[in-house]
Amino acid sequence: MSDRDIYVTRPFLPPLEELMPDLERIWTRRDLTNGAAFHREFERALASYLGVPFVSLFANATIALITALQCLRISGEVITTPYSFVATAHSLLWNGIEPVFVDIDPVSLSIDPARIEAAITPRTTAIMPVHVYGRPADVEAIQRIADTYGLRTIYDAAHGFGARYRGQSLAAFGDLAIMSFHATKVFNTFEGGAIVSRDAQTKQRIDYLKNFGFADEVTVVAAGINGKMNEFQAALGLRQLAHVDDCIDRRREIAVRYDAAFGSIRGLERLEAMDEHEPNGSYYPVFVREAFRCSRDELYRQLKSAGIYGRRYFYPLISDFPMYRGRPSAAPAGLPVARQAADSVICLPIYPELSPDDQQRVIDVVRGG
Ligand code: T4K
């Protein structure tokens, strides 16, 4: 690793001077966590930025996913996607829920709604789709199925910050939506996450659950966990909000430049634009097909030897990991689209501070120059 190395992403941070008064306030007040002033202010600011009714802040999105399932008392089987980060399915196992994998749609790369009904059994209680790379899952079709069969919808919107579909934040869909503010995301608080909910009662229950189940000093109403976001993270989040639109603009510009450079390369497929979708530039995946000058893994190695660290998100499929692969729904025959995506994808560097020169280096290596 050297100064010339280029990573798949680099977190944006606001100038340190912006944060200093907040740190002084935290040091003076000594309210470090448990829903103090910055936490409350950040929840309100986020709800307003996202245009959603209620936000509950978390230490990270994985605990938020686990808590969301607890909140709605999901049990039995949940229909989900194999093409995601392991945290999606792990949150089900942590709740003793059986993940049932269905194949994905080749454009959205999220659950293919046409596959859901065949996977429903009397034990199915919910659907957990993912807005992969900040692209919308087919929210209307999924909601229709959920309404018909009386299922809940919990969206993993970990990649969705700042992305919109039909003018609305991706966090606005489903019974609950979970966002991640991890260092590698469009919007970061070092670690962090949130659950977006639709009514005050549900938010109340989520807030009890993330604080051990405490409703007041002497009343515990559920087997809650410690999922709280601390004051440092919340103060940082408030400062980050002022910059996030610029960051997303920069990411979109970088994506446009990649699009122009890769338009005519044989065997290198980019994602199709989706109707009524405003992307957030969170990832820049390309799919290496047979007609390309080398295999996906060879391209990965060529980039690496040039000091460019692309990532194969999401390879392997979740359904291929040992704790999942024995399930009938994990059988490769049922997941051809997901498998093809996992075997051909590579995500190229994209982040607000990626310089034009560094982006050109990436383009040159991909072109084989
Ligand atoms: N659902 C979905 C769909 C998700 O994608 C994720 C997380 C979750 C749920 C769970 O969210 P959290 O519980 O994390 O809030 C990363 C992230 O750790 C993970 O958050 C993310 N998805 C996943 C897609 O990617 P790794 O193992 O690939 O990350 P890592 O540490 O190798 O970082 C990738 C590159 O980013 C590094 O090569 C350099 C750069 N980087 C990373 C960090 C952490 C930095 O420059 N600075 C940093 O501090 O998993």
Q: Are residues 101 and 327 in contact, defined by beta-carbon separation less than 8 angstroms?
A: yes
Average pLDDT, the chain: 97
Strand partners, 220: 214
351 lines ligand 1 (CB under 6 A): no
Fold of 16-102+109-241: Aspartate Aminotransferase; domain 2 (3.40.640)
What Cα–Cα distance (Å) separates residue 92 from each residue in 76, 125, 184, 269, 297? 10, 12, 23, 33, 31
- What is the CA 360 to chain-centroid distance, rounded? 27
Kindly state the average pLDDT of the residues 172-189.
Answer: 98
- Residue 43: what residue type? E
- What is the CA 74 to chain-centroid distance, rounded? 21
CA of 28 to the centre of ligand 1 (A): 33
Q: What is the pLDDT of residue 264?
A: 87
- Residue 338: what residue type? A
- Half-sphere exposure of 17 toward its Cβ, with a 13 Å CA cutoff? 0
Instruction: Please tell me the distance from the alpha carbon of residue 269 to that of residue 275, in angstroms, as a whole number.
Output: 18
Nearest CA to ligand 1 atom 50: 184
- Non-local CB neighbours of 297 within 8 Å, separated by 6+ positions: none
62 lines ligand 1 (CB under 6 A): yes
- Non-local CB neighbours of 10 within 8 Å, separated by 6+ positions: 351, 353, 354
CA of 192 to the centre of ligand 1 (A): 11
Q: For 244-272, what is each residue's pLDDT tens digit?
A: 999 999 999 999 999 999 988 999 999 99
16-102+109-241 and 244-367 in the same fold: no
Q: What is the pLDDT of residue 2?
A: 62
82 lines ligand 1 (CB under 6 A): no
Residue 321's SS3 state is: coil
CA of 72 to the centre of ligand 1 (A): 27
Q: Is 122 exposed, middle or buried (0-12, 13-18, 19+ CB in 10 A)?
A: exposed
Which superfamily does CATH assign the domain made up of 244-367 to?
A: Aspartate Aminotransferase, domain 1 (3.90.1150.10)
Q: What is the pLDDT of residue 157?
A: 98
Q: Are residues 152 and 74 in contact, defined by beta-carbon separation less than 8 angstroms?
A: yes
Q: For 216-243, what is each residue's pLDDT tens digit?
A: 999 999 999 999 999 999 999 999 999 9
Q: For 266-323, what is each residue's pLDDT tens digit?
A: 999 999 999 999 999 999 999 999 999 999 999 999 999 999 999 999 999 999 999 9
**What is the number of the ligand 1 atom nearest to the C-alpha of 60?**
15
Percent of the chain with pLDDT over 90: 98
203 lines ligand 1 (CB under 6 A): no
Q: What is the pLDDT of residue 1?
A: 53
Q: What is the pLDDT of residue 369?
A: 78
Q: What is the pLDDT of residue 60?
A: 98
Best residue among 178, 180, 184 to mutate for probing ligand 1's pocket (most ligand atoms within 8 Å of CB) is 184
282 lines ligand 1 (CB under 6 A): no
Instruction: Please tell me the distance from the alpha carbon of residue 206 to that of residue 93, in angstroms, as a whole number.
Output: 19
Best residue among 135, 182, 317 to mutate for probing ligand 1's pocket (most ligand atoms within 8 Å of CB) is 182
Which structure tokens are listed for 337?
Answer: 């689209």
Q: In the predicted model, is pLDDT for residue 3 greater than 90?
A: no
For the chain, the structural domain boundaries read 16-102+109-241, 244-367
158 lines ligand 1 (CB under 6 A): yes
